[in-house]
Amino acid sequence: MSQYDVIVIGAGPGGYVCAIRCAQLGLKTAVVEGRETLGGTCLNVGCIPSKALLHASHSLHEAQHNFAKMGLKGKSPSVDWKQMLAYKDDVIDGNTKGIEFLFKKNKIDWLKGWGSIPEAGKVKVGDEVHEAKNIIIASGSEPSSLPGVEVDEKVVVTSTGALELGKIPKKMVVIGAGVIGLELGSVYQRLGTEVTVIEFLNVVTPGMDGEVQKTFQRILKKQGLKFIMGAAVQKTDATKTKAKVTYKLRKDDSEHVLDADVVLVATGRRPYTEGLGLDALGIETTKGGQIKVGKDWQTNVPGIYAIGDAIDGPMLAHKAEDEGMAAAEQVAGKHGHVNYGVIPGVIYTAPEVANVGETEETLKEQGRAYKVGKFMFMGNGRAKANFASDGFVKILADKETDRILGAHIIGPAAGELIHEVCVAMEFGAAAEDLALTCHAHPTYSEAVREAALACGDGPIHS
């Protein structure tokens, strides 16, 4: 029986980052992981592989639509799907091996297998029981199921199956206009698939700034994605090669059927805690299956902590990473902290969509007085040169104090630009602080400054 200061269950972004920080803080650390490679959903079947396919398909789109305009002539590239998947697999391989290297460097043991917690202070992996003064559950999430829809990962797929389809489908139906549906829907649309997105609500990407939602849907429509809004999927009927999707329009209850070669189910994820033994331990969970934790990420059972998708909050890799570092610090007797008010969200489509903090909708709900500074990428020289002038930056600031309350960006490199605002918010900055900061010309980030200027005396280039 080996003894550890900490055993982390799960080697996704939450778990592996937590383990590295634990080791750096001098704690003897092990990680339990049942997959054959480290990195969890994010590296193996989520964030990283989807970004590889988004990059490849965006490059194709650029070649098809913008190369000739720049005087780059010649046959536009055709798609070698096998090679594209091999490129994606190489990217996964490089990243997962990188974590293995970091584990060795930090002297973290990888306990291979699926772990359970027979009692506080003990973790069972296979037939072996290991002792740990502290256990950190970072077991992540899995796609939630939809009644009447049976996933076979070939014709009716979750994001996992969508990342390794046998061939590029002619017709794809995506259930859910959330982050996964729109990212992967975009990939296949750019590769030539006819993509129809069926969404229960009347807006895409629920929870986001309303103006961004509308602009985002308009741009995606222009790119060729079709949308059926306000529709609830009832069931899918699949053969080995095709499927029928039955949905009801909510406005009149009428029933319709769509044919597809592939159906992507992207209707959310739920915590994955199966087999851990939470009930027997008496660990409290919510109705949705999230593990309840206190401010130090400790559950109601002393010495057992939980982080990431398995607990409350947005299911985002970087939120899990931050919790992983903070929980490690708590275990080491330090004061780990996460500022949940400043967690950015990014959708890696083209254009990208990024947000942080409050939306106009949440501010209205709270009855807070705010001002809006908005700047269109149309007025940004760099964006125009790069055929990327669709979209805008919008900064929300307190009406009285000018303190930045949120930012919403749809446009080129939005996922990078948002961090300037995140840092400003961490420092409690006013919009004027951003506006008075010299921004290099010509850069996309000038649009952030202009939006900040728009909170005051006005932007220059609009």
Among 180, 238, 325, 354, binds ligand NAI (CB under 6 A): 180
**Using CB atoms, what's the residue nearest to ligand NAI?**
178
**Contacts of 161-167 spanning 24+ positions with Cβ under 8 A:** 162/188, 162/262, 162/264, 163/45, 163/49, 163/50, 163/53, 163/88, 164/85, 165/262, 167/81
Contact flag: residue 308 with ligand NAI (CB under 6 A): no
Contact flag: residue 129 with ligand NAI (CB under 6 A): no
Among 27, 165, 347, 430, binds ligand NAI (CB under 6 A): 347
x/- map, 402-441, ligand NAI, by CB under 6 A? ----------------------------------------
Contact flag: residue 344 with ligand NAI (CB under 6 A): no
Contact flag: residue 291 with ligand NAI (CB under 6 A): no
Measured CA to CA in angstroms, residue 185 lies from 55, 286, 449 at distances of 14, 32, 32
Question: CB-wise, 11 or 245, nearer to ligand NAI?
Answer: 245
Question: CB-wise, 346 or 431, nearer to ligand NAI?
Answer: 346
Q: Are 280 and 260 contacting, i.e. CB atoms less than 8 angstroms apart? A: no
- Binding segment (CB under 6 A) for ligand NAI, from list 85-93, 343-351, 376-384, 386-394: 343-351
Give me the residues paired with residue 407 across strands: 356, 395
Among 269, 319, 374, 394, binds ligand NAI (CB under 6 A): 269
- In the region spanning residues 140 to 169, those forming contacts with ligand NAI, defined by CB under 6 A, are 146
Active site residue 130: no
- Binding segment (CB under 6 A) for ligand NAI, from list 55-63, 111-119, 331-339, 341-349: 341-349
Contact flag: residue 209 with ligand NAI (CB under 6 A): no
Residues whose CB is less than 8 angstroms from the CB of residue 145 and which lie 6 or more positions away in sequence, other chains included: 151
Question: CB-wise, 27 or 146, nearer to ligand NAI?
Answer: 146
Contact flag: residue 210 with ligand NAI (CB under 6 A): no
Question: CB-wise, 201 or 332, nearer to ligand NAI?
Answer: 201
What residue has token string 């070939």?
154
Q: Are 301 and 278 contacting, i.e. CB atoms less than 8 angstroms apart? A: no
Among 175, 258, 320, 431, binds ligand NAI (CB under 6 A): 175
Which residues of the chain form contacts with ligand NAI (CB under 6 A)? 146, 175-181, 183, 198-201, 206, 232-233, 266-269, 314-316, 345-348
Active site residues: 441
